[in-house]
Amino acid sequence: MIRVADDGTVRVTVPRWGSTREAQAFAEQQRAWIEKQRRRAEQDRLEPRPAPLAPDVERAFRARASRELPARLLELAAQHGLTVSRVSVRNQRWRWGSCSPNGHICVNWRLVTMPEWVRDYVLIHELMHLKRLDHSPKFWKLVAQACPAFQDARRYLRSHGSNTLVVS
């Protein structure tokens, strides 16, 4: 996995059995993506950010997320014949969601601030990881079948996601 920090620092995480050489080769293969993320981070630094939420407003959003997101995720899972082992609503700064190999899906509470169709895309994206734990063309085909407007949702997240809420 590759992460590009806000300051442009690149971090490559490899499995225990991976070597430094493999990590460097992987980073080299992903050079275009890394540069794109660095440009985006630079643009984000230059754009004004909205004011942080008041603590009581954030608490209200988190409570709403805890009520709504797991229920909707399980509803979508049932529609697609999938079984989720566990659902967690978290305060994730870098991800909208994640799915572990054992079927534990974590979602970002900030999803409740998104339009429903964007929220559903993120939930479906994580559910499709129950079928494929990668981002291969086969994975994206599954996502497209389950959520035909997924490209629009991805564009929405790219253009609105980072500035939707800022929590200090």
State the total domains in the chain: 2
Mean per-residue pLDDT for 71-98?
94
Q: State pTM to two decimals.
A: 0.71
pLDDT in tens, 25-56: 888 999 999 998 888 878 777 665 666 788 89
Residues pairing with 159 in the sheet: none
With 50 as the cut, is the pLDDT of residue 168 above it?
no
Average pLDDT over every residue of 101-106: 95
| CATH assignment of the domain containing 91 | 3.30.2010.10
Token pair belonging to 168:
């200090």
pLDDT the model gives residue 106:
96
Does residue 19 sit in the same domain as residue 87?
A: no
> Which of the 8 DSSP states describes residue 99?
E
Q: Which residues are bridge partners to 104 per DSSP?
A: 86
At 166, the pLDDT band (50, 70, 90 cuts) reads: very low
- Structural domain containing residue 128: 55-164
Above 60 in pLDDT, residue 75? yes
Same domain, 146 and 72: yes
State the pLDDT at residue 80: 97
Q: How far apart are CA 156 and CA 159, in angstroms?
A: 5
Structure tokens, 106: 């974590």
Q: Are residues 98 and 39 in the same domain?
A: no
Instruction: Confirm if 41 and 89 have CB atoms less than 8 A apart.
Output: no
